[in-house]
Structure 1
């Protein structure tokens, strides 16, 4: 394939990623082209490398996440871009972040198992928030009395936190306790929150998905 055709494919790919508003994988990008002109997968991989290089020194980057590729504002420019948006970022409680971290590291895991580790009751608001955000989903039921639901993270969770897979989470050996896991996940979400909602994200507190029965003042047990 000549250079002119490669530049055309790259331009179409860039336009599609800008318009999509969500990650697109290689097969979805290839489907943009008529069958007689559809680039081979190897060609598309080459085009993505070229597009990534073309973003060097610019305010946005090509990012590969679990669902595919997307063009996004570079993290260092998020504070300025965030000023375009009036809505303040959603604040997530420490309890919600700890619950999400446990699901990410121990999946599949039941609500009762989360409560046993954290030592406090998991608020229904937290579970509902995680399900509504599509960060977690029910993947089955534990074969014990009551058949409690088992939760696991989703592809949307990986996309939101700029991850291609769970192997990109920090190893548990590097994380001392649940609070530190929550901070690690919170760090990964800063740029995304600032970009989509506007302004620097505030420190987490008992706001979203928490209630009086799930106080952050409770003692936190260490993950083993």
Structure 2
């Protein structure tokens, strides 16, 4: 379960008019970094705006914070429409070698992660369409596991016979894979070259798939 920031008990001075401009900016930077550091989820622009002045530019603050962190082993990353504080990828092996306890990622198998990535590319997509992509059945258990991890949500009903459910990615998908938006997904040609996905495998006769195989519970 994600950590929740404590509710604000007393009003705070966001304008800081009593401070000279340079100290005011530095205090706003510290506030924004503190909020992002304390959150286990991407922090939105609207959330950060609550702790700084009305005329403060969040984007410029983030730019200055990133510059401050340039030589540090962690950074601010844009994820799912917000920002997260993360260790730089170059230190991943060092952290694993240390054995230090870290916040565990979602426990996905390589196959589940690949199915999830396929849904990211082809959404909204039905389970039978996913099965055609992989050349074997994608089980209900696999979909249920991804839904339980909050990576998937139900999309619109498919116009195919039986009106099966389609699946789309949830915001947690972007956060887990470090994407800001779906436009940040890697070029699908990389996955095609690796033999994992094919954009051509969903053929025109997909609409003739048996409806009883598709009529799933939400």
Deviation (angstroms), 1:66:
1.4
Of the two structures, which has the highest relative contact order with CA contacts closer than 8 Å and spacing of 6 or more? 1
Q: How many residues align?
A: 179
1:192 corresponds in structure 2 to none
Q: Is the 8 A contact 1:178 1:223 kept in 2?
A: no
Of 83, 87, 105, the residue aligned with 2:121 is 105
Q: Is the 8 A contact 2:45 2:82 kept in 1?
A: yes
CA deviation vs aligned residue, 1:73-92 (integer Å, no higher than 9, x gap): 11111233342128987664
Q: Is the 8 A contact 1:63 1:69 kept in 2?
A: yes
CA deviation vs aligned residue, 1:88-118 (integer Å, no higher than 9, x gap): 8766444323321221111110011111222
Deviation (angstroms), 1:155:
1.8
1:130 corresponds in structure 2 to 146
2:93 corresponds in structure 1 to 79
Relative to structure 1, the CA distance from residue 89 to residue 51 in structure 2 (aligned partners, 3 Å threshold; closer, same or farther) is closer
State the Cα RMSD in Å.
Answer: 2.4
SS, match of residue 43 in structure 2: coil
Deviation (angstroms), 1:68:
0.4
Separation of aligned partners in 2, 1:17 and 1:70 = 6
2:199 corresponds in structure 1 to 223
Relative to structure 1, the CA distance from residue 132 to residue 178 in structure 2 (aligned partners, 3 Å threshold; closer, same or farther) is farther
Larger Rg: 2
Of 168, 180, 187, the residue aligned with 1:164 is 180
More helix by share: 1
Matched, 1:31 2:47: no
TM-score with structure 2 length normalisation? 0.73
Provide structure 1 residue ranges, at least 5 long, that are not aligned to the other structure: 182-221
Separation of aligned partners in 1, 2:129 and 2:74 = 41
Relative to structure 1, the CA distance from residue 88 to residue 55 in structure 2 (aligned partners, 3 Å threshold; closer, same or farther) is closer
Deviation (angstroms), 1:179:
4.1
